């Protein structure tokens, strides 16, 4: 503490005096990088550039019409679909299955995940089962689901439900395991009830993990949706794509794929919104 | 209200952590517990607060808690233990919500404790927006909200820089002069111990036994002005601890 006051005046002067003016230079900057800045317009520009190149390639004949139709043709197919009134029928059927399957799968998954996270008996009994069934491609079970739930909506919804259930269970219980034990201790030390600790400490603490689980389960749900619709459906984006493929109507096929991409983007945007709202407490 | 620890022993697996610890925290008294790293201070405090069951012996309370005390034994944690998703006022609210207090009264309790800890302007802030010292003041406000009879403090100031620690120590002393709470105060910092403790329980290295109990009669409010006398006391406590601390240090480096 007293060091500073005892430094002799001369020593300080010396320290300044020995400075070599000729070689004086700034300390080289080595920080920076490894940090992401939001660059808003970059994504649409890249997207539009690819579309433009593709269109030019098709028009100039560089890309053969048989191999890949121009984006404008795919767009035309989409407009045809919209004017014939079939667009909503396909998209609506898909959205319904996705919504019901994903919601039920997620709710069940969160419930079972919480049980596995909170109760030793549930963990011992259910976790091996979850681990055994998670890697099974649910689409392989579709014939089984058709027998159980019928050829209609039931089997498709069930496929999506099972597909989203397992990753949600795993994300949820991992989230519960990751909740700071000290916070739980704190809750106990203030005499909070078990239910309060679960509701006010464990669930919010596991929320980041649950939401990132949603991202994964939503994309799994889209993949399963299309697969299920390809096997037996009259309407739905998957059915539309399958029909287009069977007829080699490549413009319609591209239009269908574009619809799926837009669907994926919308869902990811919605989950992003939910994260912003629910996790605003994080930096 | 009194906290009585009776012949407490505790073991984790094969290692004995605490052995035959007995002492009493009297009404309105701050008892500091010091001891080398790993001697079981936190374990002892968890046992005292009913968060852990002792292997042998018992933690007892005697006397009625003061009128309106919602949580007679209340912790203050080293790492603050605030919920990062709740604002300052909601963090305080958390510990009142289970007691069926109506909303209006809850609001007034929260406003009162935040005012007493000089946090009124930060009621709507999130923990991550606050400095370490302010976060610990939120934790203190939360503890005050349940009107504790005995505070159990596990190194409450260790995560803070020394200037902030000094300020918060003054706050604690001012608070104690007003409210006369009892406290069991675990610390590494002998200066804190001699500034706050009516008695200092010095534990030996693991297995933690009571090495000595140092009594300090000087009133808390006078201590800031009589640092010279405290310095000698602090040195005495350090003399008691020195060998233990050195041995404990060696033990830990053997393990590693
Ligand atoms: N839950 C536990 N399970 C097993 N061993 C534990 C557990 N908690 C603490 N211990 C061990 O008990 C001993 C005492 O731990 P404790 O945290 O009580 O010490 P401490 O005196 O608070 O140490 P510090 O000064 O570092 O905070 C340590 O050796 C620790 O490794
Ligand atoms: Mg400790």
pLDDT at B256 (0 to 100): 45
Report, as an integer, the average pLDDT of B20-32. Answer: 93
Least confident span in A5-9, B72-76, B174-178, B189-193: A5-9
Does residue B135 lie in a domain region?
Answer: no
Does residue B90 lie in a domain region?
Answer: no
Does residue A24 lie in a domain region?
Answer: no
To the nearest 10°, report the CA torsion of B17, B21, B27, B31.
-60
Question: Around Cβ A44, how many Cβ atoms within 10 Å?
Answer: 9
Tens of pLDDT along B164-186? 888 889 989 988 998 888 999 99
Q: State the CATH number of the domain containing residue A105.
A: 1.10.3720.10
Does residue B179 lie in a domain region?
Answer: no
Does residue B235 lie in a domain region?
Answer: yes
pLDDT band for position B253 (50/70/90)? Answer: low
A283 with B85: Cβ contact below 8 A = no
Ligand 1, from B41, B157, B244, B251: best to mutate by most atoms within 8 Å of Cβ? Answer: B41
B155 CA → ligand 2 middle, Å:
7
Does residue A45 lie in a domain region?
Answer: no
SS (H, E, C) chain A: CCHHHHCCHHHHHHHHHCCCHHHCCCCCCCCCCCCCCCCCCHHHHHHHHHHHHHHHHHHCCCCCCCCCCCHHHHHHHHHHHHHCCHHHHHHHHHHHHHHHHHHHHHHHHHHHHHHHHHCHHHHHHHHHHHHHHCCCCHHHHHHHHHHHHCCCHHHHHHHHHHHHHHHHHHHHHHHHHHCCHHHHHHHHHCCCCHHHHHHHHHHHHHHHHHHHHHHHHHHHHHHHHHHHHHHCCCCCHHHHHHHHHHCCCHHHHHHHHHHHHHHHHHHHHHHHHHHHHHCCCCC
Query: What is the domain count for chain B?
Result: 1
This model of the complex carries an ipTM of 0.88
Does residue B173 lie in a domain region?
Answer: no
Q: Using an 8 Å Cβ cutoff, are B86 and B94 in contact? A: yes
Q: How far B152 CA sits from the closest chain A CA (Å)?
A: 10
Tens of pLDDT along B107-121? 999 999 999 888 999
Query: What is the domain count for chain A?
Result: 1
Name the residue in chain B with its Cα closest to that of A208: B85
- Residue A111: which domain range? 70-282
Q: State the CATH number of the domain containing residue B197.
A: 3.40.50.300
**CA-to-CA distance for B42 and B219, rounded, in angstroms?**
27
Does residue B79 lie in a domain region?
Answer: no
Instruction: Check if A120 contacts B (Cβ < 8 Å).
Output: no
Atom of ligand 1 nearest to the CA of B36: 25
A190 with B94: Cβ contact below 8 A = yes
Give the closest residue to A169 by CA, choosing from A211, A104, A111, A100. Answer: A111
Q: How far A167 CA sits from the closest chain B CA (Å)?
A: 25
Does residue A91 lie in a domain region?
Answer: yes
pLDDT at A9 (0 to 100): 53
Nearest ligand to the CA atom of B77: 2
B12 lines ligand 1 (CB under 6 A): yes
Q: How far A274 CA sits from the closest chain B CA (Å)?
A: 15
B18 CA → ligand 2 middle, Å:
13
Does residue A193 lie in a domain region?
Answer: yes
B41 lines ligand 1 (CB under 6 A): yes
Average pLDDT of chain B to the nearest whole number:
91
B17 lines ligand 1 (CB under 6 A): yes
Q: Whose CA is nearest to atom 4 of ligand 1?
A: B12
Contacts of B73 in chain A (CB under 8 A): 189
Name the residue in chain A with its Cα closest to that of B69: A190
Does residue A4 lie in a domain region?
Answer: no
Does residue A33 lie in a domain region?
Answer: no
Does residue B249 lie in a domain region?
Answer: yes
Q: Please name the member of A182, A190, A283 whose beta carbon is closest to the beta carbon of B71.
A: A190
- Residue B21: which domain range? 1-65+154-163+184-256
**CA-to-CA distance for B8 and B44, rounded, in angstroms?**
8
Does residue B115 lie in a domain region?
Answer: no
One digit per residue, the tens of pLDDT, for chain A of length 283 reads: 444 445 455 555 555 567 788 888 889 888 888 888 888 788 889 999 999 999 999 989 888 888 888 999 999 999 999 999 999 999 999 999 999 999 999 999 999 999 999 999 999 999 999 999 999 988 888 889 999 998 888 999 999 999 999 999 999 999 999 999 999 999 999 999 999 999 999 999 999 999 999 999 999 999 999 999 988 788 999 999 999 999 989 999 999 999 999 999 999 999 999 999 999 998 7
Instruction: Check if B213 contacts A (Cβ < 8 Å).
Output: no
- Percentage of chain B exceeding pLDDT 70: 98
pLDDT at A2 (0 to 100): 44
Six-digit token string for B137: 């003041």
Its pTM surpasses 0.90? no
Six-digit token string for B96: 């009142």
């Amino acid at each position: 503490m007293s060091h500073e006051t005892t430094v002799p005046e001369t020593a300080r002067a010396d320290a300044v005096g020995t400075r070599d003016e000729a070689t004086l230079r700034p300390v080289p900057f080595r920080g920076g990088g490894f940090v992401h800045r939001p660059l808003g317009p970059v994504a649409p520009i890249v997207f539009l550039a690819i579309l433009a190149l593709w269109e030019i390639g098709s028009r100039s004949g560089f890309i053969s019409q048989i191999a890949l139709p121009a984006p404008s043709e795919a767009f035309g197919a989409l407009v045809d679909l919209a004017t014939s009134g079939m667009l909503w029928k396909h998209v609506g059927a898909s959205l319904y299955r996705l919504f019901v399957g994903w919601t039920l799968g997620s709710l069940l998954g969160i419930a079972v995940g919480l049980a596995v996270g909170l109760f030793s008996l549930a963990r011992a009994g259910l976790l091996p089962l979850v681990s055994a069934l998670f890697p099974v491609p649910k689409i392989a079970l579709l014939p089984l689901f058709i027998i159980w739930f019928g050829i209609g909506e039931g089997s498709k919804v069930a496929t999506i439900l099972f597909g989203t259930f397992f990753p949600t269970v795993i994300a949820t219980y991992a989230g519960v395991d990751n909740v700071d034990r000290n916070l739980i201790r704190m809750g106990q030390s203030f005499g909070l009830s078990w239910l309060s600790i679960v509701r006010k400490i464990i669930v919010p603490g596991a929320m980041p993990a649950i939401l990132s689980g949603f991202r994964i389960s939503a994309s799994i749900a889209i993949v399963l949706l299309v697969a299920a619709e390809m096997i037996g459906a009259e309407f739905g984006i998957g059915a539309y794509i399958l029909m287009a493929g069977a007829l080699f109507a490549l413009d319609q096929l591209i239009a269908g794929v574009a619809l799926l991409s837009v669907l994926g983007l919308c869902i990811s945007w919605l989950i992003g919104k939910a994260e912003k709202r629910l996790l605003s407490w994080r930096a | 209200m009194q906290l009585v620890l009776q012949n407490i022993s505790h073991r984790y697996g094969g290692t004995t952590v605490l052995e035959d610890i007995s002492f009493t925290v009297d009404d309105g008294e701050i008892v500091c517990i010091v001891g080398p790293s790993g001697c079981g201070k936190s374990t002892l405090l968890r046992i005292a607060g009913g968060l852990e069951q002792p292997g042998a012996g018992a933690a007892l309370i005697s006397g009625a808690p003061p009128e309106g005390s919602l949580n007679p034994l209340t912790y203050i944690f080293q790492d603050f233990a605030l919920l990062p998703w709740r604002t300052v006022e909601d963090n305080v609210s958390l510990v009142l919500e289970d007691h069926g207090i109506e909303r209006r009264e809850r609001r007034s309790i929260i406003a009162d404790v935040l005012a007493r800890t000089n946090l009124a302007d930060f009621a709507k802030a999130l923990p991550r927006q606050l400095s370490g010292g302010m976060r610990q003041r939120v934790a203190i406000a939360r503890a005050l909200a349940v009107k504790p009879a005995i505070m159990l403090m596990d190194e409450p100031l260790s995560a803070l820089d020394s200037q902030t620690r000094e300020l918060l120590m003054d706050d604690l002393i001012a608070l104690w002069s007003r409210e006369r709470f009892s406290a069991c105060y675990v610390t590494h910092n002998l200066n804190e111990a001699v500034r706050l403790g009516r008695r200092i329980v010095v534990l030996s290295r693991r297995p933690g036994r009571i090495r000595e109990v140092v009594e300090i009669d000087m009133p808390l409010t006078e201590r800031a002005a009589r640092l010279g006398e405290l310095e000698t006391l602090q040195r005495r406590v350090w003399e008691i601890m020195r060998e233990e601390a050195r041995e404990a240090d060696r033990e830990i480096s053997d393990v590693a």
